[in-house]
Amino acid sequence: MENLLEKLLEAIELGKVDKKSPYPPQLKDQDGAYELAGKALELGYKPNEILEKALIPAMANVGDRFSRKEIYVPQMLMSAKAMGGAMIHLKPFFQSGETKRKGTFIIGTVNGDLHDIGKNLVAMMVEGGGWEVIDLGVDVGPEKFIKAIEEKPDAVIGLSALLTTTMENMKKIVAEIKAKYKGSKILIGGAPVTLEYCNKIGADFYSPDPQGAVNYLNQLSR
């Protein structure tokens, strides 16, 4: 039944949100990402497996096709919507953490950047890991982060960036937070971000995926 995950991958790559969605025309009246993700869960696939074998590789393919100029922003947007359709089913699994919170995690996508799929995944999984999550959204500058930290001075901060251009804004945000809150812990992530960059800008931790963030936070709360 690996075929189902392949179908889901294809639905996301082609931007087929759900059965009633008219786009793309060649998949008219066929199941979309919403239905296929629901079926995959019914058949016993684990939420993580669905994420790692279908959703994430689909978005990686979309990125590659965009780089090769085979698709453009509107198609990328449809794929993001399709991913959202699949996430409707997966979200409750990632969010069902313990009720007693281990601490607070403030996350946002840095200023200039509107990508939020990866950030949302990190937020969901950290919440599922037992943390209170304050999601500041996208296009978040240093002031908004500082304001949120003022209200929760012990919070751990997470920054996400998907563009090489906006990645540079992480440096300023880290510097401003560290100047005001010396003991604060900041972790960073997003496709162009690396451990080397993390060390260079004085952030505390880098993880290429949400699980790494959860592990880091849990180790802090011990």
Q: Which amino acid is at 204?
A: D
Query: Which DSSP letter does residue 68 get?
Result: T
Least Cβ distance, residue 29 to ligand B12 (angstroms) = 25
Which C-beta is closer to ligand B12: that of 63 or that of 141? 63
**Which residue, chain included where needed, has tokens 């920054």?**
159
Which C-beta is closer to ligand B12: that of 88 or that of 100? 88
Contact set with ligand B12 (CB under 6 A): 56, 59-60, 62-63, 66-67, 73, 76-77, 80, 112-119, 121-122, 158-160, 162-165, 187-192, 207-210, 213
Which C-beta is closer to ligand B12: that of 173 or that of 213? 213
Least Cβ distance, residue 164 to ligand B12 (angstroms) = 4
Per-residue buried b or exposed e for 15-36, using 16+ beta carbons within 10 Å of the residue's own CB: bbbbeebebeeebeeebbbbbb
Least Cβ distance, residue 66 to ligand B12 (angstroms) = 5
> For residue 131, what are its two tokens?
């943390």
Which C-beta is closer to ligand B12: that of 73 or that of 99? 73
Q: Which of 102, 154, 100 is nearest to 126 (CA)?
A: 102
Contact 16, 33 (CB under 8 A): yes
Least Cβ distance, residue 83 to ligand B12 (angstroms) = 7
Query: Which DSSP letter does residue 73 get?
Result: H
